[in-house]
Amino acid sequence: MKLNTDMLINRITDEIWEIPVSEKSGMLVPARIYATETVLRSMDSGVFDQVTNVACLPGIQRYALCMPDGHWGYGFPIGGVAAFDVRNGVISPGGVGYDINCGMRLIRTDLTLDDVQPRLERLMTELFRRVPAGVGAGGFVRLNRPSFEEVMTKGARWCVEEGYGWHRDLAKIEEQGCIGGADPSKVTDRALARGINQLGTLGSGNHYLEVQVVSNGRVFDPDAAAALGITGHDQIVVMVHCGSRGFGHQVASDYLNVFEKAMRRYGVSVKDQQLACAPFRSEEGQDYFAAMNCAANTAFANRQVITHQIREAFAAVFGQSAEELGMELIYDVAHNIAKVERYAEGDLLVHRKGSTRAFGPGHPDLPEPFRKIGQPVICGGSMETGSYLLVGTDRAVRDTFGSTMHGSGRTMSRAQAKKSVRGEQLQQQMKQRGIVVKAVSMSGLAEEAGFAYKNISEVVETVDRAGITKKVAELRPIGNIKG
């Protein structure tokens, strides 16, 4: 089968497609893409080129993978997954992304659409005031170098200790919001300067804070939903999508420069310089891993401070405390990260770039609340179409290194989207459909129009039918804040 590429693509199942190693010189493993035929045909040619480039990297195991939300990215395709032997494999910033630990957080409430609708405009104004958004936006948390280094090593735990959250939040965050092995001495002064004032901020691009409703009849797994605090019945939830901001971006930039030189030293060659890498066990590889973990912990802390501000905003608008409003954290999960995990082959370094961890029921790395149902997976759609809550499966652990999709995935460039609609026009159209949008930039708003993204429901159906994630509930937007 041939699509937007000259490469041969074999159908393995209705949702799995494989490019054999014979299709590109240097491929060490096949490349597998999870997609329906319709979704596969919508993928840009860069996906096929990039995922096969990844399949050429030293130490890669089994397959180079791309999820159905896959589209062209830096080095790896966004939606890319690759696992490397920790002894002879590599680590690549292009397999993590510039926004280290960009991720999703979902907060439940006891409020219903009837409760929120009359105060929606006021609520979105209050959220927009309390959660800074936009390029270069600074937060209200004031840090000096020692306290910022604490954030790098403690992550969300630092926030809870400082009063920006509840201790029970930590059990509902991947790695309890603190990844070990972070070393601030491996972070440059320039990265520190870019990140020190950004805690509690959304940033720009496709990052957002969204108020959503779980409509009646859109709960697909009532038992899993109940275990996660989802009742349906027009229940209000809040989703946050953001990461490590300029701090993570600078860490990535710094080490890409380091790795370009290191590759010559170690005799490593790549198909694309954007895949610059170093042996994981090398000094350079370990330094990047330690710096990356600093940025990952800062991203967990960023979303934790934002959660504190969201709770404060709801309390101000509804005249009740966040606890009285039932504003418990459902989960927080990364989708731009590299982590050492145990699989049949032993310890592997799993790169997820625009891909979400999706461990199944009983997995030893999951905290007790999720042992019976599997790890929550939060997949954001466009601001016009809605999002999904899912859970991981044993099959994901067996077949995709415990990984699944992270969102809907773009089909149109930001420049194309801006040519197709004006931000003010889009904002008005969404208001007429009952979605209140607050945005720092109308140009940035136009970039995120729903038509620039794949159909989230079809992408979710792919991973559900493939058995690597199970649908729990659909979440419909009623209010959105964009940078």
Residue 18: strand, helix, or coil: strand
> Binding residue per annotation — 380?
yes
Structure tokens at 336: 């731009």
C-alpha to C-alpha distance for 334 and 296, rounded to whole angstroms = 8
> Binding residue per annotation — 382?
yes
- What CA–CA distances, in Å, run from 241 to 96, 203, 308, 314? 16, 10, 15, 18
> Binding residue per annotation — 208?
yes
Taking Cα atoms as reference points, which of 447, 343, 327 lies closest to residue 400? Answer: 343
Active site residue 233: no
Q: Of all helices (H) and strands (E), which one includes residue 308?
A: helix 283-318
> Binding residue per annotation — 167?
no
The per-residue DSSP string of 78-131 comes to: EEEEEEEETTT-EE-GGGT-SSTT-EEEEEEEEEEHHHHGGGHHHHHHHHHHHS
Structure tokens at 386: 């809605």
C-alpha to C-alpha distance for 79 and 60, rounded to whole angstroms = 17
Q: Give the alpha-carbon dihedral of 468, 473, 478, 480, to 10 degrees.
A: -30
> Binding residue per annotation — 139?
no
Residue type, 18: E
Active-site residue (options: 71, 249, 351, 406): 406
> Binding residue per annotation — 241?
yes
Q: Give the alpha-carbon dihedral of 158, 163, 166, 168, to 10 degrees.
A: 30
Between strands 235-242 and 208-214, the pairing is: antiparallel
- What CA–CA distances, in Å, run from 121 to 126, 131, 384? 9, 16, 17
> Binding residue per annotation — 180?
no
Beta strand residue intervals within 289-392, DSSP E: 329-334, 336-343, 346-353, 356-357, 376-379, 387-392
C-alpha to C-alpha distance for 171 and 10, rounded to whole angstroms = 42
C-alpha to C-alpha distance for 483 and 481, rounded to whole angstroms = 7
Q: How far is CA 100 from the centre of its chain?
A: 9
C-alpha to C-alpha distance for 419 and 438, rounded to whole angstroms = 21
Structure tokens at 324: 């009285």
> Binding residue per annotation — 42?
no
> Binding residue per annotation — 308?
no
> Binding residue per annotation — 210?
yes
> Binding residue per annotation — 329?
no
> Binding residue per annotation — 387?
yes
Return the bridge partners of 474, or none: 388
Binding residues for Mn(2+): 99, 207, 241, 335
Binding residues for GMP: 206-210, 335-336, 380-383, 387, 406-409, 482
- Write out the catalytic residue numbers: 406
Binding residues: 99, 206-210, 241, 335-336, 380-383, 387, 406-409, 482
